[in-house]
Structure formats: C-alpha cells, structure tokens
Amino acid sequence: FPVERIRNFSIIAHIDHGKSTLADRLLEITGAITKTQKNKQVLDKLQVERERGITVKAQTASLFYEYENQTYLLNLIDTPGHVDFSYEVSRSISACQGVLLIVDANQGIQAQTVANFYLAFEAQLTIIPVINKIDLKNADPERVENQIEKVFDIPKEECIRISAKLGTNVDQVLQEVVKRLPPPTFNREDPFKALVFDSNFDQYRGVIANVALFGGCLSKGDRIVSAHLGKSYEVNELGLLKPEELPMERLYAGQVGYVIAGMKEVKEAQIGDTLYHQKHPVEPLPGFKPAKAMVFAGMYPMDQSDYSTLRSAVEKLTLNDSSVTVQRDSSLALGAGWRLGFLGLLHMEVFNQRLEQEYNASVIVTAPTVPYKAILSSPRLIKHGREEITIVNPAQFPDRSLVKEYLEPMVMGTIISPDDYIGKIMSVCLNRRGIQKNMVYIDDHRVMMKYLFPLNEIVVDFYDHLKSMSSGYASFDYEDAGYQAADVIRMDILLNGKPVEELTTIVHRDRAYSAGKAMCERLQDAIPRQMFEIAVQAAIGSKVIARETIKAFRKNVLAKCYGGDITRKMKLLKKQAEGKKKMRYIGTVQVPKDAFINVLKRK
C-alpha cells in the first residue's frame, strides 16, 4: 500500500464529547462494521467501559476509504478522555500524524479538551477541530468556534460541524482527514523499525503488540529484536486491526497493526519500545515517559484463602495495564496483599471493577494515598549526602526525628466553568489549599482558571465536589507539577483502642484536627452498630485528637417491629445480610469493605 495514501490519526476530546460515537460512524461509512441501530461505542470492548460509558483502553482500527477514485488506508486510534488515562492518549498520539479534536457544540471547550489539545500540539500533529452534536437543541457551534479560535489560535473556518449521532457531515470528516493530514513520511526501503504503542495479553496467543511501522517492512517468519530487552523473536502472525485482527503476510512503513511473536509477558513488548530486524539494528525511537503512579492503595483479598486466585487475577490484569505498579504488601488485619499504584482514583476504581467483573475476585481496597517524599536527616541513614525516600504506605511514614523535610506532590489544575460560579469555585479551591495562577475568559461567560494544588487535596473527591457545586458545568483536569515542602504528619485511627494500620493517613498539620474529626464521624456512619460499643479515635502519636462512639446494637431493634411494619423488619434483615457479605473483621470489629475509601470523601 503506497505510503502517500496512508493517514494515521487519533480522535481526542473531553469525556462524553462523542469520540467513540464518531468512531462508530467512521467504521460504518468505511464498511468496517455493518450499519445497524446497535452500533454503540463499538471500540469500547471492556465491560467496565460499557457500564461506565467511558473508554479506558485506546483501540485501533484500520479503515479503507475511497476518495477521488483512490483507496486510502486510514488508521484510527480511539482514545480515552479522562485525565487518569491521558497516558493512553499520549501513547496513541505518538503513532499518528494528526488528530480530530472533538468539541461538544453545547458544552464547548472543557478542561480535558485543553489538555488533549496540548498533547497533540506539542507532538506537532495536524489538528482538525470538529464540532460535534450540532443536532442538539442547545447547540451553539458559532460560540464554540470562537472559543477554538481564541484558546487554540486555530482559524474558525477550519472547524467541521457534525452530528456523530445522526451521521451529519461525517463523510466530510474523512475527506478532510485525507486532504489535511500529511501521510507518514517513513520509507519502506529503510531498515524495519516499529514503535510498540500498546500491548495486550491473550491467554492462548501470548502478547499481542500494537505497532506503528516507522520504516521498512515486516513479514511473517522474520526475526525481530525488542530494543529494550535485546531479546529476539520470530514473527508468528501479523496484520491489521479492523478493529478485529486481520492477518496479513506483510506490514509496511507507515502502517499500524499487530504483531504476535511468541512473547510470553507484556514486559517483553514494553510500551514505547522499538522493534527491529535482528540483521539490521537501528537507533531506538525516543519512547515514552513511563506512566507515573499518583495514587497508592493497599489491595487485599476479602478472604485470605482467595489469595492465590486474586494473585493470578492481579497478574493478568496488570499484563494488560502496564501503568499499574505492583508491590507485595501485608497487613496485620488484612493479611497478605499488594500495594498498588494508579494514575488516579478513577483508574483505581476501574481496576477494582475489572478485577471483580472479569476475574470474579472480591477485594478490599484501603484508603488511597499520594506518594509523599521524605528527605532523611539521620546520619546513619545518609550515605551519599541527601537521601530521599518515597512514602507510598502511610503506615511506613518515617518518624519526624529521622526526617529533615517532607515533600508532597503538586499538580497544576485547569478548571473551565461558566463565570456565575467563579466565587464558589475560588472558595472551594482555597479550601483545598489551591493557589490561583491564572484566570482568562474563553468567551463572554466562561472562564479558564489555573490553580496549583497539593495532589492529596484533589485526588479523592474534588472533581465530584466541583461538579455538584457548579450544577455539572465545571470541568477539571490536572498535570504533574513536581514536589513542594509540606508540614505533614501521620494520623492513626483506633477502633476500641487498637490502631488500624489500614486507616492510617498522612495529613497536613494544620488540618489534623478537622481531618481526624471528619474521619471519626464518617467511620461512625460507615460502621454498623454491633453487639458492643465501639470507640473510634483519631490520634497523632499517642495523643488522641478526636473521638466518636458507635453505640451497641440494641437487641430489641427488631422486637420493636413485631406487630408493626413487617416490611421494615424484612428490610432490616436483608440489609444486615447484604452488609455481612461485604464486612471484614478488624480485631473484633466488623468494618464494611468500602469504608476504607469512603472515610476520605468529604461531604
């Protein structure tokens, strides 16, 4: 296939602006899938993607498109829109020459639109702005085009107005892809060189690597080497993704496809790695920044007897999601488990849900924490001057006496909102220790604000909070902004006098009292009454700073219902039975498994 007739592109957008729906239409027009009423987010294959209506894993599809009597090969890569998965977006982009930047005609530019735009812009890709959902009653494409011109400096005449749902102007999108995007400039006469931009694990066939060929060609039976590990493999199968695999004899420079080469572990096809012919070594491609875990949590089987089943589920799932970091861990109350690192809270919840749905595993996840750092001062710990450790488990918080300075991770947040909410948003941000860096109007009524935040202040529930106080209109995205010195301390939670390691958190000194009180109150709500009274305490060192009491279960609670409302009694019994399934003993106290996360959510 001549390289001049290849186009590699990605669809990027804020969540829900219609990437996956547009992908469906593009697949239909090009005949990759048959047109039916039922094609909904065809590329979202995972159950969690279907249930949550979000894309988690980027998918690839090769489309054949007729334009002016020529057939073009268009490689489409659908990407997730959520901030936690922007790592997937930057990966997809590296295999492309251009992007379709989708913006909802009603909502306009949102925080992730901005973040995704910059990913594409910095990669020097051609950007085609597409205004979607023009069929909506409240659509205002004109206003959105002005925003695009103002914020991204793209002439508004370049925007294409479409309805992905109805298919309006979708054919024009494909024409513009052919016309505006440059073909890849790779040469098939060069030595073979391919970028691994994704990899999947299949139980029967091993690793399936998604590759973009940056030079040469690859045939079945070739011997290839992965630059990272230097191991060599024979190519057993290769082909295009349509989106299902279509085996071919050869792949050529500029194409995107899959390769199966007897790799047993995803580590062998590391994302960002370069593949080359054993006989013709090449300079490896620059690769990617490794994904950086922003949220850590302990994960334990509900029942220790499920440990090995869970272990194999975690292993399989991390094979397909290399952005999760895994360390073995154990706790007194919960037994053997792991400490896992995720890109964000949604990523953690999705991982959890996939474990439960795809592997039928039942897990307890402990309170998430961000990676703090400590610079140690104790002479016996200093070998090469300044020594720094990263704290991913609050229970291993090093004592003050050993530490010169604690550091906390910071992020630069982007908030876009109608200006009616500015006052409220500013006070919420202040309350989260945010520092305003910038504020601009992107049109008559909408502002874009930049705030520097400590990551721990926004990681759990900031987005939900922002959404609810702005009636759903504000959007939020953030990026890594390094570390800053912070006055943080360890806070323990005690149930009936016994410290519960799994509930230990790291808090700001100024916030210790309010955080301790809030945690005790939320635990009081989360833990059901039991046969005995339970004291819930928060402590700094040996000093108790807050306390709540969970009164003993009154045995006659049910008795009271006799003769009264029978349905209420049934409800109570049912609730108790359901609750029991998801309970975990800590000492003698039964704690519901979701309490560990919920205790961190502010009301």
Decide which of Mg ion, ligand GDP, none touches 15; Cβ closer than 5 to 8 Å per partner kind. ligand GDP
Residue with tokens 């071919």: 248
Q: How far is the CB of 15 from ligand GDP (least distance, A)?
A: 5
Q: Specify the residue for token string 């925003």.
A: 147
Alpha-carbon distances, residue 552 vs 494, 522, 530, 556, 557 (angstroms):
17, 17, 5, 11, 11
Does 306 count as an annotated binding residue?
Answer: no
Q: At what angle do helices 170-180 and 19-29 cross, to 10 degrees?
A: 90
Q: Which residue has the tokens 């790799």?
A: 263
CB of 337 to Mg ion, least distance (A): 32
Which CB sits closer to ligand GDP, 28 or 237? 28
User: Which is nearer to Mg ion, 78 or 457 (by Cβ)?
Assistant: 78
Distance CA 288, CA 301 (A): 33
Q: Quick one: 173 or 491, whose CB is closer to ligand GDP?
A: 173
Distance CA 79, CA 54 (A): 10
Q: At closest approach, how far in Å is the CB of 85 from Mg ion?
A: 10
For the chain, state the CA radius of gyration: 27
Q: Which of 15/196 has CB closer to ligand GDP?
A: 15
Residue 14 assigned ligand-binding role: yes
Q: Which residue is associated with the tokens 């829900």?
A: 16
Residue nearer to Mg ion on the CB measure, 19 or 133: 19
Out of ligand GDP, Mg ion, none, what residue 244 binds, judged by CB under 5 to 8 A for its kind, is: none
Give CA–CA dist 182/250, Å, rounded: 23
- Residue 136 interacting entry, from Mg ion, ligand GDP, none, C-beta within 5 to 8 Å by type: ligand GDP
CB of 51 to ligand GDP, least distance (A): 12
What DSSP designation does 124 have? T
Contact partner at residue 135 from ligand GDP, Mg ion, none, CB < 5 to 8 Å by partner kind: ligand GDP
Q: CB nearer to Mg ion: give 58 or 253.
A: 58
* Residue nearer to ligand GDP on the CB measure, 46 or 589: 46
Residue 138 in marked binding region: no
Task: Select 169 or 320, whichever has its Cβ closest to ligand GDP.
Answer: 169
The gap from C-alpha 595 to its chain's centroid, in whole angstroms, comes to 22
The DSSP element (H or E) to which 224 belongs, if any, is strand 223-226
Nearer to ligand GDP, 54 or 73 (CB): 54
Alpha carbon distance 163, 104 (integer Å): 10
81 is in an annotated binding site: yes
281's contact among Mg ion, ligand GDP, none, with CB below 5 to 8 A by partner kind, is none
How many other C-beta atoms can be found within 10 angstroms of the C-beta atom of residue 36?
A: 8
Pick the closest to residue 350 from 327, 328, 308, 320 (CA basis): 320
Residue 438 is assigned to a ligand binding site: no
DSSP assignment of 260-326: E-S--SGGGG-TT-EEEETTS--PPP---PPP---EEEEEEESSGGGHHHHHHHHHHHHHH-TT-EE
Q: What type of residue is 145?
A: E
SS (H, E, C) 482-510: EEEECCEEEEEEEECCEECHHHCEEEEHH
78 known member of a binding site? yes
The partner in contact with residue 18, picked from ligand GDP, Mg ion, none with C-beta cut-offs of 5 to 8 angstroms by kind, is ligand GDP
Near Mg ion in 29-68, by CB under 5 A: 55
16 is in an annotated binding site: yes
* Helix, strand, or coil (residue 112): helix
| Distance (Å, whole) CA 188 – CA 213 | 9
Query: Using alpha carbons only, what angle is made at residue 332 by residues 329 and 334, rounded to the nearest 5 degrees?
Result: 70
CA distance 145 to 156: 5
d(CA 282, CA 595): 53
Residues that bind ligand GDP (CB under 6 A): 13, 15-21, 41, 53-55, 81, 132-133, 135-136, 163-165
By beta-carbon proximity to ligand GDP, the closer residue of 13 and 263 is 13
- In the complex, what is the shortest distance from the CB of residue 371 to ligand GDP, in angstroms, rounded to a whole number? 29
Q: Consult the annotation and say whether 128 binds a ligand.
A: no
Residue 490's Cβ-count burial label (10 Å; 0-12, 13-18, 19+) is: buried
Residue 134 marked as a ligand binder: yes
Q: Is residue 545 a contact partner of residue 538, using CB atoms and an 8 Å limit?
A: yes
What is the closest distance, in whole angstroms, from the C-beta atom of residue 78 to ligand GDP in the complex? 7
Residue 220 marked in a binding site? no
Query: Checking DSSP bridges between strand 193-202 and strand 206-215, what pairing results, if any?
Result: antiparallel
Judged by CB under 5 A, the chain residues 4 through 23 that form the site for Mg ion are 19-20
Q: How far is the CB of 5 from ligand GDP (least distance, A)?
A: 28
Residue 46 in contact with residue 350, Cβ under 8 Å? Answer: no
At its nearest, how many Å lie between ligand GDP and the CB of residue 27?
12
Taking the least distance from each CB to ligand GDP, the nearer of 31 and 53 is: 53
75 makes contact, choosing from ligand GDP, Mg ion, none, with CB < 5 to 8 Å by partner type, with none
Least distance from C-beta 54 to ligand GDP, angstroms? 6
Least distance from C-beta 391 to Mg ion, angstroms? 35
Q: Which does 498 bind (CB under 5 to 8 A by kind): Mg ion, ligand GDP, none?
A: none
Nearer to ligand GDP, 198 or 329 (CB): 198
Q: How far is the CB of 110 from ligand GDP (least distance, A)?
A: 11
309: partner contacted, choices ligand GDP, Mg ion, none (Cβ within 5-8 A by kind): none
CA atoms within 13 A on the CB side of 485: 4
Residue 132 interacts with, from Mg ion, ligand GDP, none (CB under 5-8 Å by kind): ligand GDP
Residue 475 makes contact with Mg ion by CB under 5 A: no
Q: Is 510 annotated as a binding residue?
A: no
How many angstroms from the chain centroid is the CA of residue 505?
Answer: 23
Q: How far is the CB of 19 from ligand GDP (least distance, A)?
A: 3
The footprint of Mg ion (CB under 5 A) covers 19-20, 55
Instruction: List the binding residues.
Output: 13-20, 78-82, 132-135
Annotated binding site for GTP: 13-20, 78-82, 132-135
